[in-house]
Structure 1
Amino acid sequence: MNYEALRAVFRRANALLGTNWSMHDLRHTAALRMARDKRLSLRDVQTILGHAHLSTTADIYLVEDEEQVIARVQEYLADVKERAALPPASPATGYEASDLDVLFGGERG
């Protein structure tokens, strides 16, 4: 299907559905889905879209769902709290506890 034929399909579908979709909308939706997929890097998405600069891809397609951001931050904070409650690990063989205290700023068990 060539460009003009696809535009005609969109015109007919938009007239029937009362929408205003375009081929660019499909590209944008595909790019958003790729950017959110953990299996693809942002550099992969940049290459697929043909953007010259990574910042173009990032500025347009790194749109985060606010609820997901809040959930990730809550999970992170819960992990931090859980780790803080754990007793410090014993130093591995060959390390002096006093050296680690100086390095990490505290007393180790």
Structure 2
Amino acid sequence: MPDERWNELFAALRSNRDRAILALAVSNGARASELLGVRGVDLDWGDQLVRVVRKGTLAEQWLPASAEAFIWIRLYLAEGPPLDPQAPLWWTLRRRDHGAGLAYQTMNYEALRAVFRRVNTLLGTNWSMHDLRHTAALRMARDESLSLRDVQTILGHAHLSTTADVYLVEEEAQVIRRVQEHLAEVRDRAKPPPPTVAGGYEASDLDVLFGGGQA
């Protein structure tokens, strides 16, 4: 997802809860089920880490998150009831059965899908949580300060080949641009040095004589 499309998606969100979830997803590539399972106790505010239970292995793992994600989490929590550290982090207001009014309920995958349905309808797009995971992976993979092993660890891939095969994908336009820059450098290195002018002659006179000024 290009940065401008991410900004467009983020601007279309209606709540701080949704902004917090998507900001987390795009910063560390955690899966939807992993983020939805986060509890209050799984937030490390000091080191800006979030603990998730990995899909498949069910192993707990601390993941880094952006400062922006924690800002949106704080704003979201300020809007609702006091957070129980052992309770799920994400809640949604739903109408109770028999018209008994609204009540807080744990946010599930269907509620998160509804967030994307609304935004996609508004923007005419088809984004999903997997797109955010893919975007986070590509951003990390293209950062020269991170190794492929770093990316594998954060994404929770069991095999390094999975990370390499799926996420080390370069956009064709970027590849073409870099190769063009390479060819330009080769061309510049191959250029012969300018000829030296013998003593007693003016360079401008030689240009006129040999047509150098027209080259």
Instruction: Return the TM-score normalized by structure 2.
Output: 0.33
* Residue aligning to 2:141: 35
The total of aligned residue pairs comes to 81
Amino acid at match of 1:5: A
Cα distance between partner residues in 1 of 2:184 and 2:120: 42
Cα distance between partner residues in 2 of 1:41 and 1:13: 34
Structure 2 gaps of 5+ residues are: 1-89, 91-106, 191-215
Which of 128, 136, 140 aligns to 1:22? It is 128
Asked if 1:66 is matched to 2:175, the reply is yes
SS of 2:117's equivalent in the other structure is helix
Amino acid at match of 2:175: E
Instruction: Return the TM-score normalized by structure 1.
Output: 0.60
Higher strand share: 2
Asked if 1:6 is matched to 2:115, the reply is no
Amino acid at match of 2:161: S
Higher Cα radius of gyration: 2
Higher helix share: 1
Amino acid at match of 2:131: D
Aligned identity (percent) is 71
Cα distance between partner residues in 2 of 1:43 and 1:66: 23
**How far off its partner does 1:53 sit?**
0.9
Instruction: Give the alignment's Cα RMSD to 1 decimal.
Output: 2.4
* Residue aligning to 1:100: none
Cα distance between partner residues in 1 of 2:110 and 2:150: 29
Cα distance between partner residues in 1 of 2:134 and 2:159: 17
**How far off its partner does 1:72 sit?**
6.3
Cα distance between partner residues in 2 of 1:33 and 1:68: 18
Q: Structure 1 residues 75 and 38 mapped into 2: Cα distance closer, same or farther (>3 Å)?
A: farther
Structure 1 gaps of 5+ residues are: 83-109
**How far off its partner does 1:17 sit?**
1.2
Q: Structure 1 residues 43 and 77 mapped into 2: Cα distance closer, same or farther (>3 Å)?
A: farther
SS of 1:39's equivalent in the other structure is coil
Cα distance between partner residues in 2 of 1:53 and 1:75: 38
